Amino acid sequence: MTIEEQIRDIVARISRVDKSIITRESTFKDIKADSLDVVQALVAVEELFEIEIPDEVAQKFQNFGDFVSYVESKVAKAEKV
């Protein structure tokens, strides 16, 4: 399972939506995720991938694709260490 698929599963489960509606262009507003859902998704992703997503970075995510790209880059950096 790719990083994107794992994150999509987490966001879908927490937001209680069908994961098929979540695309890279989807915003959290599009999938009707409230601020608590977003925080829970961030924490779950941080725990799963053992990374940290600073609040100031998370606030800049425009859509699901931004979120995935950030996590992919953090995971790739962690693997190089």
Q: What is the pLDDT of residues 4-19, one digit of tens each?
A: 999 999 999 999 999 9
Contact in structure between 31 and 17 (CB atoms under 8 Å): yes
Mean pLDDT (whole number) for 50-61: 95
Residues with a known catalytic role: 34
Share the mean pLDDT of the chain.
95
Domains of the chain: 3-80 (1.10.1200.10)
Neighbours of 79 (CB within 10 A): 7
Q: What beta strand segments (E) does 20-60 contain?
A: none
- Name residue 56's amino acid: E
Structure-block tokens of residue 40: 């829970």
Closest CA to 4 of 76, 80, 67, 78: 67
C-alpha–C-alpha distance, residues 31 and 51, integer Å? 24
